C-alpha cells in the first residue's frame, strides 16, 4: 500500500498529478459510501442521518486544509471523514482525541512560525494592533470553543472589544504550526484571544456569548470537528475572571440539566503562553473571499445573566 510519506510527495509534483490524486481519493470515498446508501432503502432515514455528519465533516475540514495546504491533506481528511477511523488508519491519517503525555508531543521551535502575523500587523476589521503591549486599561481572555475562525467572528464586532487574534494555547509545543496542532500532538487548543475595555463591555457579556454559541458538553469536539484542539475552554488572566467563569459555569449547568443536556466539560484554567496562528487565519471571516465556514454547534439555550 502506498505510504503516507509518498502521498505527501504530491505537494512537490505537478498540479495534474495532484488533481489525479484528489480524483482517486474521492472515488475511494464514494465507493465506501455505496453499501450504506444501498442499505438506506431497507432501514429508512436512520442510515442517511449517520452519513450526513460525516459528509459535513468532509466538506468543512477538508476544505479548510485544502485551501492552504494542498490536495494530499484534503484527501486524507476526506478518507477519515467518510470511511471512519479503521480505514483512515490504514492510510495513515489518524490523530489522538485525548491529550498526550508531554514527552509524546512534537518538539517546537524557539522562534515564531514564519507565517505568523508581523509585529506591526493591524487588525483587519478594527485597525488596532495585533500585538501588545496594549493600553493599560485593557483586559484579555482566551476562549476555546471550536474552530477559531468561527469564534473570532463572534467577538471582533462587539462594542468595547479593542482587538482579537487567533492562536494556539494551553499546550506543550512551543510555536506550533497549524498542521502540528491539527495532528493532535501538541496538546494545544484553537483559541481566540480577546482584548477588551472593561469600562465598555462586561466580562459577563463576553462569556454569555461564549456559553450560548457553542456546545460546552462535548469533550474534544465541536459539531463535526473532532480533536483536542476543539475542546471548550476559558483561559483567564485575572482571579476576578476565574471567579466569574466558575460562577457562570455553575449557573449554566443548571440550565442545561433542566433542558436535558449533559455535563459541561469546559476547562477553566490560567492562560498559558499564547502562540499566534498563521496570518491567513486572523480575522478570517472578515476578509473578502472567506468561505464562511462555521463549525460551532450551539445548543439553543440562553444564559440567564440575572442568575449571577
Phi-psi region of 96 (alpha: psi -120 to 50; beta: other; left: phi over 0): beta
- Is 29 catalytic? The answer is no
Selected catalytic residue, list 29, 105, 147, 150: 147
Dihedral sign (CA 166, 171, 176, 179): negative
Kindly state the cell numbers that stand for 88.
483512515
Give long-range contacts, CB 8 A cutoff, 24+ apart: 292-295.
293/60, 293/63, 293/64, 293/147, 293/149, 293/150, 294/147, 294/149, 294/150, 295/60, 295/146, 295/147, 295/150, 295/222, 295/223, 295/224, 295/225, 295/230
Q: What is the dihedral of CA 116, 122, 124, 126, to 10 degrees?
A: 140
Q: How far apart are the first and last CA of the chain?
A: 58
Q: What cell was used for 215?
A: 456546545
- Catalytic residue numbers, as ranges: 147
Amino acid at each position: 500500500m502506498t505510504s503516507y510519506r509518498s502521498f505527501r510527495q504530491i505537494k512537490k509534483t505537478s498540479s495534474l498529478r495532484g488533481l489525479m490524486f484528489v480524483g482517486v481519493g474521492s472515488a475511494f470515498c464514494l465507493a465506501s459510501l455505496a453499501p450504506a446508501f444501498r442499505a438506506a432503502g431497507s432501514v429508512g432515514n436512520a442510515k442517511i442521518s449517520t452519513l450526513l455528519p460525516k459528509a459535513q465533516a468532509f466538506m468543512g475540514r477538508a476544505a479548510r486544509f485544502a485551501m492552504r495546504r494542498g490536495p494530499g491533506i484534503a484527501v486524507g481528511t476526506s478518507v477519515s471523514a467518510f470511511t471512519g477511523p479503521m480505514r483512515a488508519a490504514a492510510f495513515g491519517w489518524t490523530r489522538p482525541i485525548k491529550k498526550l503525555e508531554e514527552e509524546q508531543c512534537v518538539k517546537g521551535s524557539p522562534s515564531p512560525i514564519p507565517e505568523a502575523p508581523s509585529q506591526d500587523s493591524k487588525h483587519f476589521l478594527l485597525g488596532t494592533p495585533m500585538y501588545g503591549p496594549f493600553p493599560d486599561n485593557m483586559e484579555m481572555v482566551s476562549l476555546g470553543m471550536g474552530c477559531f475562525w468561527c469564534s473570532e467572528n463572534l467577538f471582533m464586532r462587539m462594542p468595547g472589544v479593542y482587538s482579537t487574534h487567533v492562536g494556539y494555547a494551553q499546550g506543550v509545543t512551543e510555536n506550533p504550526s497549524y498542521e502540528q496542532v491539527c495532528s493532535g500532538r501538541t496538546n494545544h487548543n484553537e483559541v481566540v484571544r480577546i482584548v477588551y475595555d472593561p469600562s465598555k463591555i462586561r466580562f459577563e457579556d463576553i462569556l454569555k456569548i461564549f456559553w450560548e454559541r457553542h456546545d460546552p458538553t462535548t469533550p474534544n469536539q465541536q459539531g463535526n470537528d473532532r480533536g483536542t484542539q476543539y475542546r471548550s475552554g476559558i483561559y483567564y488572566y485575572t482571579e476576578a475572571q476565574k471567579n466569574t467563569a466558575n460562577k457562570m459555569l455553575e449557573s449554566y449547568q443548571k440550565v442545561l440539566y433542566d433542558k436535558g443536556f449533559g455535563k459541561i466539560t469546559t476547562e477553566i484554567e490560567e492562560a498559558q503562553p499564547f502562540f499566534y496562528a498563521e496570518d491567513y487565519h486572523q480575522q478570517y471571516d472578515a476578509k473578502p473571499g472567506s468561505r464562511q465556514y462555521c463549525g460551532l454547534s450551539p445548543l439553543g439555550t440562553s444564559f440567564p445573566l440575572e442568575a449571577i
